[in-house]
Amino acid sequence: MMIRTLIADDEEGPREQLRAALQRLAPELEIVSACANGVDAWDECLAQEPALCFLDIRMPGLSGLEVAHRLAQLAEPPQVVFVTAYGDHALSAFDAGVVDYVLKPVEDARLQQCLQRIRQRQAQVAEAADATDAAPTASAAASLPTATLELLRQLLPAHRPTMRPIQASQGREIQLIPPEDILFFQSDSRYTRVVHRDGEAWIRTALKELLTELDAQIFWQVHRSVVVNSRFVASATRVDENTMQLSLKGSEEKLPVSRQFQGLFKGQ
């Protein structure tokens, strides 16, 4: 079985070295994407749904830890291997084997060891899937992230710079929209639509770049192209097995929630 794999490192040398080493040592890995920053890595993860991610810790946009933190919240989180330049003390936290890490420059022996763990875990997931036919990737994979999520939360820096007002130009006028007034962001291929209390505006910044500035506690990504202000969410409705819709306060629009993010709305 091919394992869909993503590599992210902001420097070309180490990225290509890792790719070459993986192709040599583990032909069963299918490298679906190689990204040069954290923002692209997160976006590609949503688009490609890899089962395995090699993330550099220091990357522009979102750090490897931040990408992993987001991934761990998905319905079916991929396995994560951190790649870093030196023995960061934080990494010893992962020695338990929940998440693995390798040091740059990557050495074959260490990578082999890491791949061995990945194969074992994949086998567990497959076994679990066989046992419970209905939910394909239930227990084994799903049991991993809770501990990881907690660890990652501790390792992440305590605060991000607070978000500045969104600046949208309309003709010759530049409109400033305070983040607390924004209902949701929706991305087009090149622009981002900002729907706020008093109307809507279009900005040039891509949604995935905006993500680095948004407070993740308030602004929830619910779809690859939709980020919603959780304070304006009125209800989430399950339409069928795979589809969910959000209704908002102060807007008639219904927003889609993709399968990966449905865990955000559990209903208790």
Note the residues at the interface with another protein (CB under 8 A). Answer: 10-14, 16-17, 20, 37, 39, 58, 60-61, 85-86, 103-106, 161, 209
**Alpha carbon distance 232, 197 (integer Å):** 10
Which of 100, 260 has the CB closer to another protein? 100
Q: How far is the CB of 145 from another protein (least distance, A)?
A: 26
Collapsing DSSP to helix, strand or coil, 181 comes out as helix
**Crossing angle of helices 38-48 and 64-72, rounded to 10°:** 30
Q: How far is the CB of 250 from another protein (least distance, A)?
A: 32
C-alpha angle with apex 120: 114 to 124, nearest 5 degrees?
145
Q: How far is the CB of 233 from another protein (least distance, A)?
A: 29
Q: How far is the CB of 138 from another protein (least distance, A)?
A: 37
Which of 38, 78 has the CB closer to another protein? 38
Contact, 231 vs 221, CB < 8 A? no
Which of 82, 261 has the CB closer to another protein? 82
The gap between the terminal CA atoms of the chain, to the nearest Å, is 37
How would you class 221 by CB atoms within 10 Å of its CB: exposed for 0-12, middle for 13-18, buried for 19 or more?
A: buried
Which of 137, 205 has the CB closer to another protein? 205
Which of 107, 253 has the CB closer to another protein? 107
Q: Which amino acid is at 22?
A: L
Q: How far is the CB of 93 from another protein (least distance, A)?
A: 18
